[in-house]
Amino acid sequence: MLMYCDLVYCGEETTLRAPFVSLGVCPELGSSYVLPQLIGYQCACALLLTGEAVSAETAREFGLVNAVVPNVTAERYARSKAALIAAQPPDAVRTTKMLMRRWSLGLAQDANKLEMDYLLSMVKGPEVREAVSAFVQKRPPDFSRFT
């Protein structure tokens, strides 16, 4: 969902991850299209294929986060930016947001539909069962038999 936020502010101790593949499924909500468009193919691969958590600062370097602030001020900082936008002319804000998203909306929707088709079939598969079992049993998953 982060990719669809207008502005993103994180506390300095925040970590972010995209655990789709680690859970035995593919990305959803158009992530396979939107994320590479937003941060580049290699950075998107680093997030999507490894499932590793990245720091807020790394996410900022990737372009996913606008600013990293001290944890204790993160909410206040975000609210101050929201208030700044709320003070702008509403129609201009709405129109600007629509125009900025319009050009890729159809492709993101197509990506989401295709991802959901794959995701629904994958959820029933053995790799997801292994990921869930490993989580419940508090052990690392073993996907070696699924070559």
Q: Which residue has the higher pLDDT, 106 or 56?
A: 56
The domain of 97 spans 2-136
pTM of the model: 0.76
Cα 98 to its chain centre, rounded Å, is 20
Work out the pLDDT band at 10, boundaries 50, 70, 90.
very high
pLDDT tens, 70-83? Answer: 999 999 999 999 99
Residue 145 lies in a domain: no
Q: What is the CATH number of the domain that holds 77?
A: 3.90.226.10
Number of folded domains that form the chain: 1
Work out the pLDDT band at 30, boundaries 50, 70, 90.
confident
Residue 56 lies in a domain: yes
DSSP states of the chain as a string?
-GGG-S--EEETT-EE---TGGGT----TTHHHHHHHHH-HHHHHHHHHH---EEHHHHHHHTS-SEEE-GGGHHHHHHHHHHHHHTS-HHHHHHHHHHHHHHHHHHHHHHHHHHHHHHHHHHTSHHHHHHHHHHHTTS----TT--
Residue 147 lies in a domain: no
Distances (CA, A) of 14 to 48, 51, 56: 18, 16, 5
Question: What is the structure's pLDDT at 53?
Answer: 95
